[in-house]
C-alpha cells in the first residue's frame, strides 16, 4: 500500500523529503509514493492540509494502487482510465470519481516532471452532479435543539451492540453528552465544519464586545483557509454556558478542547457527537431531507449558511464565503442552490430609496 512505499523511501533517506524513489521510476506505485512525499512536504509548509493528505492516501490504498500499483505508468492511458472511472461509478458519486481521477493525475504529473512520460494522457470527462446538502428549516432546527436537550444523560437503546465503521462506542460513553445540544447551536451560529468541533480549543475563542457582540474563532487551518471566523451573537451565549460547564469539570484552560475535552482521541470525540446527533435525527424523523438525502452534522453548517442567505439583510456572497472558509462557487453550488426566489420575495420586490 502507499503508506508502506512512503515509509520505505523515508527510511532510505530521512533527511530529504523530496528524495526520488529507489524503485523503478516508471512504476506507478513508486511514483505514487513520491507524490505522497511531495504532498507531505506541502503539508509541512502549510500549503496542504493534513486531513486532505490522509484522504488522498486513503484513495490510493483503497482503489488506485490495487488497480494500477504493479503497472508501468506508460500503460495508464485513456482506455484504462475510462474503465477505472466506469468501475468506480457503480458505487461512488460523480464527484468522488472525479476526485479519484485527480489523485491519478497527481501521480502521472510526477511521471511527466521526471521525464518518464512526455505528456499526460487524456482523462475521461466526468459530469459532476451536485446534490444540495440537506439544510434544516428554522422549526426543524429548534425541534432538534429541544430533543437533544431532553435526551442529555439518556442511554441510546442500541449502544451495547453498536459497531461503527471506525469506532465501537465505549461503555463510558453510553449516555447522551451535555455537549451535543451546545454543539448543535454553536455550529448553526458559527458556520464551522463538523471537523472543527474536534480541534477547537478555548485558546482559539475570543469574546468580542463592542458595537457588535460575537466570537472570533482563530481556528487551525482548514482547506488552506487561515482567516478567523466571526460568529453570530447567540454563539456567545452558548459558549459562555459551555465554558461554565467545562469549568465545573476542570476542563476550561486555554489548552483544553471546547467540546468533549475529556476525550483524548479527537476523532473518537467527533464520532460521539455525530453518533448522538444521528440518534436525535432518528427520534425527530429528520434524518432524511425533503429530497431523500441523508442528513448529518454537516447539515448544521449548511443550515448556518442558508439561514444567512435567507435572513441576513443584504449580505453578499463574498463576505459570507470568506467567513465560512469556503468559496463563492461552493456557496452557489451547494448552499444558494436551495434558496428560491419566493423565499426572498421581499428583496426581489424591494426598491432603492429615492434621494
pLDDT at 94: 87
Domain count for the chain: 2
Phi, psi of 257 (to 5 degrees): -75, 150
Looking at the domain assignment, is residue 148 inside a domain? yes
Instruction: Check whether residue 231 and residue 329 sit in a common domain.
Output: yes
CA distance 52 to 54: 5
For range 277-302, the mean pLDDT: 89
Last residue of a domain, one of 63, 79, 113: 113
Looking at the domain assignment, is residue 347 inside a domain? no
For range 292-306, the mean pLDDT: 88
CA distance 255 to 201: 6
Instruction: Check whether residue 58 and residue 153 sit in a common domain.
Output: no
pLDDT, tens only, 268-289? 999 999 999 999 999 999 998 8
Instruction: Check whether residue 107 and residue 142 sit in a common domain.
Output: no
Instruction: Check whether residue 72 and residue 159 sit in a common domain.
Output: no
Instruction: Check whether residue 162 and residue 52 sit in a common domain.
Output: no
The CATH number covering residue 76 comes to 1.10.150
Q: Does pLDDT of 20 surpass 60?
A: no
pLDDT band at 14 (very low <50, low <70, confident <90, very high): very low
Residue whose C-alpha is closest to residue 212's, from 197, 186, 232, 196: 232
Mean of the per-residue pLDDT values for the chain?
83
Which residues are within 8 A (CB) of 155 and not within 5 positions of it... i.e. 6 or more apart? Answer: 174, 175, 176
Answer whether 59's CB lies under 8 Å from 99's CB. Answer: yes
Instruction: Check whether residue 91 and residue 226 sit in a common domain.
Output: no
Q: Does pLDDT of 11 surpass 50?
A: no
pLDDT at 350: 47
| 16-20, 79-83, 242-246: least confident range | 16-20
Looking at the domain assignment, is residue 133 inside a domain? no
Instruction: Check whether residue 144 and residue 191 sit in a common domain.
Output: yes
Q: Does pLDDT of 5 surpass 50?
A: no
CA distances from 321 to 116, 191, 316 (A): 41, 10, 9
Kindly report the pTM of this predicted structure.
Answer: 0.68
pLDDT at 293: 79
CA distance 195 to 50: 12
Instruction: Check whether residue 81 and residue 7 sit in a common domain.
Output: yes
How many CA within 13 A on the CB side of residue 205?
29
Looking at the domain assignment, is residue 8 inside a domain? yes
pLDDT at 166: 59
Q: Does pLDDT of 265 surpass 80?
A: yes
pLDDT, tens only, 203-228? 999 999 988 899 999 987 655 556 88
Instruction: Check whether residue 167 and residue 88 sit in a common domain.
Output: no
The CATH number covering residue 216 comes to 1.10.443.10
pLDDT, tens only, 152-199? 999 887 755 555 555 778 888 889 999 999 999 999 999 898 989 999
Q: Does pLDDT of 149 surpass 60?
A: yes
Q: Does pLDDT of 337 surpass 80?
A: no
Instruction: Check whether residue 29 and residue 156 sit in a common domain.
Output: no
Looking at the domain assignment, is residue 299 inside a domain? yes
Residue whose C-alpha is closest to residue 124's, from 147, 150, 98, 146: 98
Instruction: Check whether residue 142 and residue 246 sit in a common domain.
Output: yes
State the residue range of the domain holding 251.
Answer: 138-341
Amino acid at each position: 500500500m502507499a503508506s508502506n512505499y512512503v515509509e520505505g523511501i523515508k527510511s532510505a533517506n530521512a533527511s530529504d523529503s523530496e528524495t526520488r524513489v529507489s524503485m523503478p521510476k516508471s512504476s506507478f506505485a513508486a511514483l505514487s509514493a513520491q507524490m505522497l512525499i511531495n504532498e507531505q512536504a506541502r503539508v509541512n509548509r502549510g500549503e496542504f492540509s493534513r486531513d486532505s493528505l490522509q484522504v488522498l492516501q486513503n484513495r490510493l490504498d483503497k482503489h488506485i494502487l490495487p488497480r494500477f500499483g504493479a503497472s508501468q505508468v506508460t500503460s495508464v492511458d485513456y482506455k484504462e482510465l475510462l474503465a477505472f472511472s466506469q468501475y468506480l461509478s457503480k458505487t461512488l458519486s460523480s464527484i468522488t470519481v472525479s476526485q479519484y481521477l485527480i489523485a491519478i493525475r497527481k501521480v502521472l504529473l510526477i511521471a511527466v516532471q521526471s521525464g518518464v512520460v512526455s505528456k499526460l494522457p487524456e482523462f475521461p470527462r466526468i459530469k459532476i452532479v451536485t446534490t444540495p446538502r440537506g439544510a434544516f428549516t428554522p422549526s426543524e432546527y429548534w425541534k432538534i435543539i429541544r430533543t437533544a436537550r431532553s435526551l442529555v444523560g439518556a442511554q441510546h437503546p442500541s449502544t451495547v451492540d453498536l459497531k461503527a465503521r471506525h469506532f465501537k462506542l465505549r461503555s463510558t460513553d453510553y449516555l447522551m453528552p451535555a455537549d451535543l445540544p451546545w454543539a448543535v447551536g454553536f455550529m448553526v451560529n458559527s458556520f464551522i465544519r463538523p471537523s472543527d468541533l474536534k480541534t477547537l480549543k478555548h485558546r482559539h475563542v475570543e469574546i468580542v464586545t463592542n458595537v457588535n457582540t460575537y466570537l472570533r474563532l482563530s481556528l487551525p487551518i482548514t482547506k488552506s483557509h487561515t482567516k478567523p471566523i466571526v460568529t453570530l451573537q447567540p454563539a456567545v451565549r452558548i459558549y459562555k454556558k459551555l465554558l461554565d460547564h467545562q469549568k465545573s469539570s476542570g476542563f476550561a484552560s486555554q489548552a483544553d478542547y471546547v467540546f468533549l475535552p475529556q476525550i483524548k482521541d479527537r476523532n473518537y470525540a467527533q464520532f460521539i457527537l455525530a453518533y448522538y446527533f444521528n440518534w436525535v435525527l432518528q427520534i425527530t424523523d429528520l434524518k432524511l431531507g425533503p429530497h431523500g438525502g441523508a442528513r448529518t452534522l454537516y447539515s448544521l453548517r449548511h443550515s448556518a449558511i442558508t439561514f444567512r442567505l435567507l435572513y441576513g439583510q443584504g449580505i453578499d456572497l463574498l463576505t459570507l464565503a470568506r467567513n465560512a472558509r469556503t468559496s463563492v462557487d461552493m456557496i452557489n453550488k451547494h448552499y444558494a442552490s436551495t434558496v428560491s426566489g419566493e423565499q426572498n420575495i421581499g428583496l426581489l420586490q424591494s426598491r432603492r430609496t429615492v434621494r
